[in-house]
Structure 1
């Protein structure tokens, strides 16, 4: 069906950020529609990430904090709850959408070839693969991929800037051995000691440059698994079709070199369920297999997603069953399976791949390590980040000693929260005047490693919608929004804009 209705604000992406943005838009009297590519709203928040990467709790306010308070109420608790089941997060987001009469369209995705209608520096409409066209006065891209932003003529980057670009220390190719999370001594060749046999799958011959050099590689993706050890609610994870034993050779050799733990996390979000994430150099991250994802078309992305699912389910099955995994390690992981009461529409496996990083906009202001370390004044804060600067590995490579090493990971804790500039969510005026991007924000890889957390995306989503509403009440140009006015609204909404150090 072709929609001729013009919404005040069209939000592409039914992530938690997108739903929160819609709630704020509705609160300010604007007509809004949320278009979600998949069949489930909430992104990672309802997709398995129930052990919240909260950073410093006093830096979370507004509707983001309200979400976590509503989660607590679902468990009959006071205050905010940061540990929760996927189905409860989904319930809270559905409640919010229903209370504010948000129109949510699922299963519709942007036509990537020429789906963005523009007039000068203004987006007029977006057309979906289905043929549906959504006309709007303001647009918000709340997707993890940044497709709307990327197809709107807005500058962006994929990968890692060189440290030299912004005077950073954590960007680009990382020093190898001191950050290697694999045991020492893993032979990189298919037949140990025989280079002619070829390198193991996913192992590169070299890092691809010197420490601090930029490249187009992305930190690894995985699925945040919700697992249970409750026999009455458990589906065993079988050996997946397409299982490739060679994919687990690094695991076998890591065990041979002495690794006995940290194969993946079993962080409980309730007495019976986990949020299980990557936990070492060989774990649930499918290192190196996502580098083409950001710019890929939908069929190619689906292949990448499916390859990650096969790898990860195969990884769990291998840890639980393979004879090359010692019995004592198998025994730790054997009790865990998929909860029958989660993800009932997708075989009890989350449909949401963890897109840790994809496109990042390049606006007039780029958030860098210096912002995160509080070296830059930020007078136009629209919310705070506070999690560590955190990047997962980008690749395996053969190090100077001739062994397999990880590359790309860092985890640097912060002393205090830091403000995020309004200019980081708006494009350059010459490129687009009615688009706001609260997820694929204008930030370097190093800074994005801290920003890219679900509570922050919700914070930025709310602030983006408030700014969009103000722009609509003004001249329709987001870059002209008065920061004082925006601050006034955000403070009324209990957004935390600055915090005590």
Structure 2
């Protein structure tokens, strides 16, 4: 069982404990200027900035390993234009560069052997002294160094009581309580989770799913049938979705929806697919072979057999990271993205999330086993894939499996300002920028459905490049003032589905984390509400601290 699932299993114990002890808090209370719930990369940069501005801060988080996706497999950075990445975010990638300047860091391959391309840009930039591809354990070590160097208190394996643990008085959060009954008090709180759990528990409004294009006057939101920006679709393969090909009365193959896909541009409750960003290797001596899961069901992959039979053989997506490793991502029409199986995750209970995680892990492990062993896979590809496995020196206390599933999107706050594709594509100006983004509006597939012609098809996979880097509005991290006066949300930001597809990149989250810390510190300095901080004062501080606000 993975570390994450073990921790979620504790929830049942904690809930029973609450029933026995009642609501009386038997644990000490913790107090700070700012309390951050969550251990993501944005949570770390928020805390670092607060400490640099001489504020007390506590990170309390369900994770035992900090850094979010950056230290949980996503080492082939979704980058865009690196010139708009500044501040602490840039410092992180400079720390990566510094690490790999040491020859001792290259223990599985010579440094000169490693390629220098990543996400369409130079992975190692000697001029900026930055490096954008890295191993998971290196990222985690850097985040831990940030915590240690800045003397940040991190309290781990603590799960927010999402039902009764957030005390709100007169529109402000007074305290948050964990299922293990510790209570944390602060003047300002930060939701440092991908899921927006604290935000939701505080009663802030949010959205899950895709908005219709008509809601914000967008072009690329909602259902996008027949729009294929990448290779993650069935194209014109004309593959039958039925158990007996061509016979609709025989039943539908697994992992295909029988629901209508919806009208073009319409909103729905669909969420772009999740997967795990595996760290794999073919370095002899560091390979942990892919294992056959106990409940392996080859019938779950019948659709993939038909893809192979039709001549499509994509397997490992993602890209190379140091030491003969690969950050493996989804590729092709049927891959590690578990399409349609994550719709309930955002709002699910801890126990329900555990079940969703188990489904994704079993599906992903079964896919790896299928690639290497099913006779429908060409023999030369089976031989090739069997040379690969999980990296033995990564995620060593979790059976070498990533700690964190790739939550590409969950709740999105309905805050003071909603970013849309109009801002991303430069059709609408932003007057209060707190950082910049530049990556494509990237949505993975949302559904796999049956076309009116009777074939299987994927929908929702988009990649729309902005012509220039774009500015991100201050209001995207702020709830509406009447909903909550002292909460800042740097990850589950206020944006439409498709705009979030660009904002959701780890370098941008770290940027927004620093801006969050700056805003909180200035509010404390001036003894004003976070919504009432003078933007010009905020802007001056951000620029002073090397944030990039224009291009």
Q: TM-score range, shorter-chain basis?
A: over 0.9
- Do 1:51 and 1:275's aligned partners in 2 also have CA atoms closer than 8 Å? yes
Query: What SS is found at the alignment partner of 2:442?
Result: strand
Aligned partners of 1:487, 1:224: CA distance in 2, in Å? 35
Aligned match of 1:379 in 425, 428, 431? 431
Query: What SS is found at the alignment partner of 2:248?
Result: strand
Aligned match of 2:500 in 429, 439, 448? 448
Matched, 1:150 2:227: no
Please list, as runs of the form range in 1=range in 2, the aligned pairs for 1:76-155 lying within 5 A after superposition.
Answer: 76=101, 78=126, 79-155=129-205
- Do 1:33 and 1:102's aligned partners in 2 also have CA atoms closer than 8 Å? yes
- Do 2:309 and 2:376's aligned partners in 1 also have CA atoms closer than 8 Å? no
Aligned partners of 1:462, 1:135: CA distance in 2, in Å? 21
Q: CA deviation at 1:264?
A: 2.6
Normalising by structure 1, what TM-score?
A: 0.97
Matched, 1:305 2:305: no
Query: What SS is found at the alignment partner of 1:285?
Result: coil
Q: CA deviation at 1:317?
A: 1.1
Aligned partners of 1:292, 1:162: CA distance in 2, in Å? 20
Matched, 1:433 2:485: yes
Aligned partners of 2:514, 2:332: CA distance in 1, in Å? 34
Aligned partners of 1:17, 1:242: CA distance in 2, in Å? 36
Aligned partners of 1:124, 1:177: CA distance in 2, in Å? 47
2:117 aligns with none
- The Cα offsets for residues 273-316 of structure 1, whole Å up to 9 and x where unpaired, read as 11110112211101110000001000110111111111111101
Aligned partners of 1:12, 1:266: CA distance in 2, in Å? 30
Aligned match of 2:73 in 36, 43, 48? 48
Aligned partners of 1:121, 1:25: CA distance in 2, in Å? 23
1:272 aligns with 324
Q: CA deviation at 1:245?
A: 1.4
Matched, 1:37 2:62: yes
Please list, as runs of the form range in 1=range in 2, the aligned pairs for 1:6-85 lying within 5 A after superposition.
Answer: 6-76=31-101, 78=126, 79-85=129-135
Query: What SS is found at the alignment partner of 2:434?
Result: strand
Deviates more, 1:350-359 or 1:71-80: 71-80
Query: What SS is found at the alignment partner of 1:33?
Result: strand
Where structure 1 has 5 or more consecutive residues not aligned to the other structure, the ranges are none
Please list, as runs of the form range in 1=range in 2, the aligned pairs for 1:162-173 lying within 5 A after superposition.
Answer: 162-173=212-223
Residues 1:258 and 1:301: Cα distance change in structure 2 (over 3 Å) = same
Query: What SS is found at the alignment partner of 1:355?
Result: coil
How many pairs are equivalent? 498
Q: CA deviation at 1:177?
A: 6.5
Aligned match of 1:350 in 388, 398, 402? 402
Q: CA deviation at 1:190?
A: 1.8
- The Cα offsets for residues 432-457 of structure 1, whole Å up to 9 and x where unpaired, read as 01000000000000100000000000
Q: CA deviation at 1:248?
A: 0.9
Aligned partners of 2:206, 2:28: CA distance in 1, in Å? 30
Aligned partners of 1:177, 1:192: CA distance in 2, in Å? 25
Aligned partners of 1:113, 1:173: CA distance in 2, in Å? 33
- Do 1:202 and 1:395's aligned partners in 2 also have CA atoms closer than 8 Å? no
- The Cα offsets for residues 205-232 of structure 1, whole Å up to 9 and x where unpaired, read as 2443101000011000000010010120
- Do 2:38 and 2:63's aligned partners in 1 also have CA atoms closer than 8 Å? no
Aligned match of 2:297 in 226, 239, 244? 244
Normalising by structure 2, what TM-score?
A: 0.89
- Do 1:220 and 1:288's aligned partners in 2 also have CA atoms closer than 8 Å? yes
- Do 2:434 and 2:473's aligned partners in 1 also have CA atoms closer than 8 Å? yes
Aligned partners of 1:323, 1:3: CA distance in 2, in Å? 59
Aligned match of 1:227 in 271, 280, 299? 280
- Do 1:47 and 1:350's aligned partners in 2 also have CA atoms closer than 8 Å? yes
Q: CA deviation at 1:24?
A: 0.4
- Do 1:48 and 1:226's aligned partners in 2 also have CA atoms closer than 8 Å? yes
- The Cα offsets for residues 36-74 of structure 1, whole Å up to 9 and x where unpaired, read as 212110010000000000110001000000000001111
Aligned partners of 2:487, 2:299: CA distance in 1, in Å? 45
Matched, 1:485 2:537: yes
Query: What SS is found at the alignment partner of 2:281?
Result: coil
Aligned partners of 2:261, 2:528: CA distance in 1, in Å? 45
- Do 2:39 and 2:192's aligned partners in 1 also have CA atoms closer than 8 Å? yes
- The Cα offsets for residues 228-279 of structure 1, whole Å up to 9 and x where unpaired, read as 101201100111122221221111111111202x223151111411111011
Query: What SS is found at the alignment partner of 2:101?
Result: coil
Q: CA deviation at 1:197?
A: 2.1
Aligned partners of 1:478, 1:460: CA distance in 2, in Å? 15
Residues 1:462 and 1:232: Cα distance change in structure 2 (over 3 Å) = same
2:393 aligns with 341
- Do 1:434 and 1:476's aligned partners in 2 also have CA atoms closer than 8 Å? no
- The Cα offsets for residues 5-33 of structure 1, whole Å up to 9 and x where unpaired, read as 32100001110110111000110111101
Residues 1:102 and 1:389: Cα distance change in structure 2 (over 3 Å) = same
